[in-house]
Amino acid sequence: DTAVSQTPKYLVTQMGNDKSIKCEQNLGHDTMYWYKQDSKKFLKIMFSYNNKELIINETVPNRFSPKSPDKAHLNLHINSLELGDSAVYFCASSLKGEGLRTEAFFGQGTRLTVV
Amino acid sequence: AQSVTQLGSHVSVSEGALVLLRCNYSSSVPPYLFWYVQYPNQGLQLLLKYTTGATLVKGINGFEAEFKKSETSFHLTKPSAHMSDAAEYFCAVSARGGSNYKLTFGKGTLLTVNP
C-alpha cells in the first residue's frame, strides 16, 4: 500500500491552462504539505494544512490554490500556468502531535512541465 | 530562523570508499535534524533523524550521522559506499510554521559512486 500517493506522476500542459494535482495519504496523519522542487533540486514548502485548515502559505502566487476536502486529501489547483511553474511538486504528510520531531512522509512527486 | 547549509553540491566517491556528506545548521532553539535521500525520479525517503538523546544516530542502509552542537554540524557518513547509494541527499531542520511544523531543506548533495 502506498503511504502518500500523488496523481498524476507526469503532467505536460500549455501556458495559460488550469491543472490539478491530487494527493492522498493513508497513514492517518493530520498534517499535509505541498513542496516545490525546482530544476536545481531545491525544495521549498508551499502550503501546510492541519485537519483541513490552511496553516502555512509561503508567499505562493494566488494562482495556486490548495484544497483539503478531508484530512487524508490535499489537492493543488494551479490557474493560468506559467513557464516558471515547471517543477516537481511533492505532497507530504506528518503527525502534528510529534511537534518538532515530526518527520514528513513524501509522495513520489508530480513532474509538471509547462510548454 | 532555522536553516541548513550543505557543503558541496556534488560528492564523488569510489565504491567501497567512505562517504561523508556535510551539513551545518543554524537554529535559535535546540534543532531537530533530518537526512533524506532522493533516488532518481523518486520521492524523498527518511534516512535518519536527530531529536534528543544520543548524538550518534544510525539510519537505514548503513548510514549514520553525528550531531555536534559545538560545531553546529550534522554530517552524514557511511563507511563503505555501494553503487546503490548514488542519489541526492538532503539535510533538513524542523521549524515551527504558525501552529504547524515544517521542514526547511538544504540545497542537496548529489552523491555519485564510481565502480
Quick: pLDDT tens for A5-20. 999 999 999 999 999 9
pLDDT exceeds 80 at position B74:
yes
Residues A4 and A89: beta-carbon distance below 8 Å: no
> Which pLDDT score, from 0 to 100, does residue B92 have?
94
Instruction: Please state, in angstroms and rounded to a whole number, the distance separating the CA atoms of residues A73 and A24.
Output: 5
From A24's Cα to the closest Cα of chain B, the distance in A is: 14
Residue B98, chain A, CB below 8 Å: the answer is yes
Quick: pLDDT tens for A83-106. 999 999 999 999 877 777 788 999
Quick: pLDDT tens for A22-33. 999 999 999 999
From A34's Cα to the closest Cα of chain B, the distance in A is: 11
pLDDT exceeds 80 at position B81:
yes
Q: Considering only CB atoms, which chain A residues are within 8 Å of B90?
A: 43
- φ and ψ of A22, to 5 deg: -110, 150
Q: Which residues contact B99 (CB under 8 A, 6 or more apart)?
A: A50, A55
In the numeric block, the cell 564510481 is attached to B114
Contact A31 B100 (CB under 8 A): yes
Beta strands in chain B (DSSP E): 3-7, 10-14, 19-26, 33-38, 44-50, 56-58, 64-68, 73-78, 87-97, 100-105, 109-114
In the numeric block, the cell 508551499 is attached to A46
Nearest CA in chain A to B93: A100
pLDDT mean across residues, chain A: 92
Of B43, B46, B97, the CB nearest to A108: B43
Nearest CA in chain B to A46: B102
Instruction: Please state, in angstroms and rounded to a whole number, the distance separating the CA atoms of residues B81 and B16.
Output: 5
Residues A102 and A94: beta-carbon distance below 8 Å: yes
Cα separations (Å) of B59 from B19, B46, B47, B67, B115? 14, 9, 5, 13, 24
CB proximity under 8 Å: B 47-66 to A = 49, 51
From B12's Cα to the closest Cα of chain A, the distance in A is: 18
Least confident interval from A12-16, B47-51, B79-83? B47-51
Residues B105 and A46: beta-carbon distance below 8 Å: no
**Looking at residues B50-65, what average pLDDT do you find?**
92
Residue B108, chain A, CB below 8 Å: the answer is yes
Max Cα distance, chain B (Å): 48
> Which pLDDT score, from 0 to 100, does residue A95 have?
87
Quick: pLDDT tens for A44-83. 999 998 888 888 888 789 999 999 999 899 999 999 999 9
Question: Higher pLDDT residue, B98 or B89?
Answer: B89
Quick: pLDDT tens for B94-108. 877 777 778 899 999
From A112's Cα to the closest Cα of chain B, the distance in A is: 13
Q: How many whole angstroms from its chain centre is CA A114?
A: 17
All three cell numbers of A7, joined, read: 496523481
Which of A57-71, A88-102, B42-56, B75-89 is modeled with the greatest confidence?
Answer: B75-89
**Looking at residues B18-44, what average pLDDT do you find?**
91
Q: CB pairs below 8 Å between A and B: how many?
A: 72
> Which pLDDT score, from 0 to 100, does residue B101 have?
78
> Which pLDDT score, from 0 to 100, does residue A1 have?
66
Instruction: Please state, in angstroms and rounded to a whole number, the distance separating the CA atoms of residues B40 and A65.
Output: 28
